[in-house]
Amino acid sequence: MPTKNPRLNVVLEPNLYKTLNKLAHKEGISLSLAARDLIKEALEIHEDLYWQKSAQKREKTFSSKKSLSHKETWE
């Protein structure tokens, strides 16, 4: 039966495979679902780091003299 989700083949080192297999077995899920969940988690962390760096750059150029007050913003 065809699936609507794309497929990905991944080659893992034996120790990484064993660890992933243990994790999947412990959580009662397939290797595929365990890998998918870990990839999602890693991408979320990557995204958080990106936005953190972006915020730090913006923070360096922030001027309280040029900023709007709460009242000015919501009027």
- pLDDT per residue, tens digit, the chain (75 aa), is 677 889 999 999 999 999 999 999 999 999 999 999 999 999 999 999 999 999 999 999 988 888 888 998 998
- Structural domain count, the chain: 1
Q: Is residue 24 part of a domain?
A: yes
Domain that holds residue 25: 13-55
CA-to-CA distance for 30 and 8, rounded, in angstroms?
15
Per-residue pLDDT tens digits for 37-54: 999 999 999 999 999 999
CA distances from 3 to 6, 35, 39, 40 (A): 8, 18, 20, 19
